[in-house]
Amino acid sequence: MKPQDFEEFCRRWLVAWTGNQPERLIEFYSDDVLYRDPARPDGITGKTALFDYLRKLLRKNPAWVWSAKEVIPTGKGFVLKWTATIPVGPRTVIVEGLDIVEVSGEQISRNEVFFDRSVLPEA
Give per-residue pLDDT as tens, 61-112.
889 999 999 999 999 999 999 999 988 888 898 999 999 999 999 999 999 9
Domain, as residue range, for 27: 3-112
Query: DSSP string spanning 48-112?
Result: HHHHHHHHHHHHH-TT-EEEEEEEEE-SSEEEEEEEEEEEETTEEEEEEEEEEEEEETTEEEEEE
- Number of structural domains in the chain: 1
* pLDDT tens figures, 36-58: 999 899 999 999 999 999 999 99
Question: Which CATH number do you get for residue 86?
Answer: 3.10.450.50
The answer to the question of residue 118 being in a domain is: no
